[in-house]
A and B are shown apart, each in its own frame.
Chain A
């Protein structure tokens, strides 16, 4: 199946072409927009392409698993892409432990979300367009994770950015907050472009330093070449700027909350499970470069932990169900970068995986709720939905417990591992901020949960009739709930699993071996300490859950009192630290105003236009006097000609004489 890996990229592309080219025709056939049969064909083709890809990836996974450890890196070359003067780029896919994990997540979770979308997007006038974009996204994402060189990775990187833009603005005729969904899409795209700029610089620097862009060559040369450390730091920082854009870290986190303008399955697939983790994947892939640049590692860790913390504080007070989840995603991505910065690369990837399960589940659950509440997204207008939608309720609870880090659900294992490594490799402060973030995570998650599913029903019974979603939506929820519940068992920490060890780690170990050997900073800490920290974080998270229950279920007035007591802080958090406003004031407005008053009205209108217009006027004036020579009387022309001939003759005669 490894040889067939190109099909995992090709099938989504074919699905995209089918739905994109034939979709309008198929939809038009039914004559109505709610046309069952034709929607079915589009949905089956769209999901089927991803499902088949998933099967192939699973096959490749087991084939790789059967190989001896040192032969698990396979490269499948399709064709040569660019070949100019030493630069050789081919369409090659690197099938190794890391890319297989990512491919499994992308196609697996992607497949589940595609199935869910058949139900969620039912009746949408652009049903076909949605599936075409989703398939295109999977195509780009598979290129990103399977690429064996930086340029192909960048192709996928840009491709997912494009699909993100297209899908955020999918409902382009709808309003979103103060502007439109297409403005939100544009914002995502532009902020991503700023990050891509850093990524490009990093790529250039890699090429000029190592003379190649192929992963295996770059990483082996990173070990064997004598490259000064500051070059490594520069490369690592540039690449990390790209990662902050794609993965919504400080300072480029502003686009992700706005990306919630898209349909909810999009938020689940692109803005929670897969695309936003591309930055984490890329940093993990370049682990050797980062391991050679300790300063850059520190930057990654600091940015990660601060993003985790600040996003969590914002998540505490948001009232839009998807906004809470969006900030939660930013916060969890911060965790992943904290893990990478701590040198625990496989812990970061492990969290990518568990996060893909429970966050996709949370988003899909939220989608199910939004669906039944007639597009109402404000949690203050929910409440008591437990009895109306039992399946959504149950699966959402599983996800909320998982993300809060309660054992034995998946979030516990990955989050605790990250906290542990940040304690051993980075120090107490990082662990403490991480722990505070974990407590806040548990709190806002259960605030969301209690306000949505428990307590008094705060919606209008005459207008809204909550109901459970159809099977095509609930079955994906159940599958994801199972994964979110048991997904963590493949990464049980060594103190529990004994001689079996951590399966996930030993699977990924060969990929990160060189980087981890270079770091060599894993101090010896006793199992007692690890257990102690684990207990602290679990107890703290459980406490936060019970406190949320107390505040939002038993004594709702406490919440109101607290928010009015700390009105200042509450407002700052509600307005997301005014980051958007600060960017508007410091960057966007100066650029807009400067472009308008200087570039447009002075540089363009006065200087460039003025230059051209005045040149034209000058020529007009000069020619105005010269044109008088042309009298129209043929004889005067003849006279000039004769005079010219005479002068020429004299010239010739004189030069002979």
Chain B
């Protein structure tokens, strides 16, 4: 017996929402970063779901792209966080507010 597609989509939406809330509310940059990964992976889950549902391999192909981009982004992002930490001795996002007028 097959699990209906709605299950996957609801799970994916749930993960995405958790990600968004995390990004918007958490103060620690690492946690925010992890939440972003969560959102990316929920998007990946959706792609895979439709790929298998429609019998089209293009969705899985996209997932690989997203994963490789996410890996690169994680490397750059963590490097930035380390640089900021060295500079300001904190990774609290609300204390890093230099990006303004």
Q: 0/1 per residue, A605-641, Cβ < 8 Å to B?
A: 0000000000000000000000100111111001100
Contact residue among B20, B24, B97 (Cβ-Cβ distance under 8 Å from A632): B97
Q: Would you call A592 an interface residue if the criterion is a C-beta within 8 Å of the partner chain's C-beta atoms?
A: no
The count of residues in chain B whose C-beta lies closer than 8 Å to any C-beta of chain A is 13
Mark out the residues of chain B between 50 and 81 whose CB falls within 8 Å of any chain A CB in the assembled complex.
none
Residues of A within 8 A of B25 (CB): 635
Residues of B within 8 A of A632 (CB): 97-100
Which residue of chain B is the closest to A637 with respect to CB atoms? Answer: B99
Task: Indicate whether A627 sits within 8 Å of B24 (C-beta atoms), given known contacts A634-B96, A635-B93.
Answer: no
User: How long is the Cα–Cα vector from A94 to B27 in the complex, in angstroms?
Assistant: 91
Interface contact A642-B24, CB-CB below 8 Å: yes
Mark out the residues of chain A between 573 and 632 whose CB falls within 8 Å of any chain B CB in the assembled complex.
627, 630-632
Residues of B within 8 A of A638 (CB): 23-24
Interface contact A630-B100, CB-CB below 8 Å: yes
The count of residues in chain A whose C-beta lies closer than 8 Å to any C-beta of chain B is 10
Q: Would you call B94 an interface residue if the criterion is a C-beta within 8 Å of the partner chain's C-beta atoms?
A: yes
Q: Would you call B101 an interface residue if the criterion is a C-beta within 8 Å of the partner chain's C-beta atoms?
A: yes
Interface contact A635-B101, CB-CB below 8 Å: no
B22 CB to nearest A CB, Å: 10
User: How long is the Cα–Cα vector from A635 to B36 in the complex, in angstroms?
Assistant: 12
Which residue of chain A is the closest to B29 with respect to CB atoms? Answer: A634
Q: 0/1 per residue, B32-58, Cβ < 8 Å to A?
A: 100000000000000000000000000
Interface contact A633-B97, CB-CB below 8 Å: yes
Q: How many A-B residue pairs have CB under 8 A?
A: 27
Interface contact B101-A627, CB-CB below 8 Å: yes
User: How long is the Cα–Cα vector from A17 to B24 in the complex, in angstroms?
Assistant: 78
Interface contact A635-B99, CB-CB below 8 Å: no
Interface contact A634-B99, CB-CB below 8 Å: yes
Residues of B within 8 A of A642 (CB): 20, 24
Interface contact A635-B100, CB-CB below 8 Å: no
User: How long is the Cα–Cα vector from A533 to B6 in the complex, in angstroms?
Assistant: 126
Residues of B within 8 A of A631 (CB): 97, 100
Residues of B within 8 A of A639 (CB): 24
User: How long is the Cα–Cα vector from A634 to B97 in the complex, in angstroms?
Assistant: 7
Task: Indicate whether A634 sits within 8 Å of B93 (C-beta atoms), given known contacts A639-B24, A642-B20, A642-B24.
Answer: yes
User: How long is the Cα–Cα vector from A632 to B97 in the complex, in angstroms?
Assistant: 4
Interface contact B96-A635, CB-CB below 8 Å: no
User: How long is the Cα–Cα vector from A403 to B101 in the complex, in angstroms?
Assistant: 84
A291 CB to nearest B CB, Å: 78
Residues of B within 8 A of A627 (CB): 101
User: How long is the Cα–Cα vector from A639 to B32 in the complex, in angstroms?
Assistant: 13
Residues of A within 8 A of B100 (CB): 630-632
Interface contact B101-A633, CB-CB below 8 Å: no
User: How long is the Cα–Cα vector from A630 to B99 in the complex, in angstroms?
Assistant: 8
Which residue of chain B is the closest to A623 with respect to CB atoms? Answer: B101
User: How long is the Cα–Cα vector from A290 to B84 in the complex, in angstroms?
Assistant: 89
Interface contact B20-A635, CB-CB below 8 Å: no
User: How long is the Cα–Cα vector from A470 to B24 in the complex, in angstroms?
Assistant: 101
Interface contact B24-A635, CB-CB below 8 Å: yes
Residues of A within 8 A of B98 (CB): 632
Interface contact A633-B24, CB-CB below 8 Å: no
Q: 0/1 per residue, B81-97, Cβ < 8 Å to A?
A: 00000000000011011
B31 CB to nearest A CB, Å: 12
Residues of B within 8 A of A633 (CB): 93-94, 97
A650 CB to nearest B CB, Å: 15
Residues of A within 8 A of B20 (CB): 642
A391 CB to nearest B CB, Å: 87
B71 CB to nearest A CB, Å: 22
Residues of B within 8 A of A630 (CB): 99-101
- Interface pairs (20), CB distance under 8 Å: A630-B99, A630-B100, A630-B101, A632-B98, A632-B99, A632-B100, A633-B93, A633-B94, A633-B97, A634-B93, A634-B99, A635-B23, A635-B24, A635-B32, A635-B93, A635-B94, A638-B24, A639-B24, A642-B20, A642-B24
- Beyond contacts A627-B101, A635-B25: 14 other A-B pairs, Cβ-Cβ < 8 A, are A630-B99, A630-B100, A630-B101, A631-B100, A632-B97, A632-B100, A633-B93, A633-B97, A634-B96, A634-B99, A635-B23, A635-B32, A638-B24, A642-B24
Give A residues with C-beta under 8 Å from B. Answer: 627, 630-635, 638-639, 642
The 3 closest A-B pairs by CB, nearest first: A632-B100, A632-B97, A627-B101
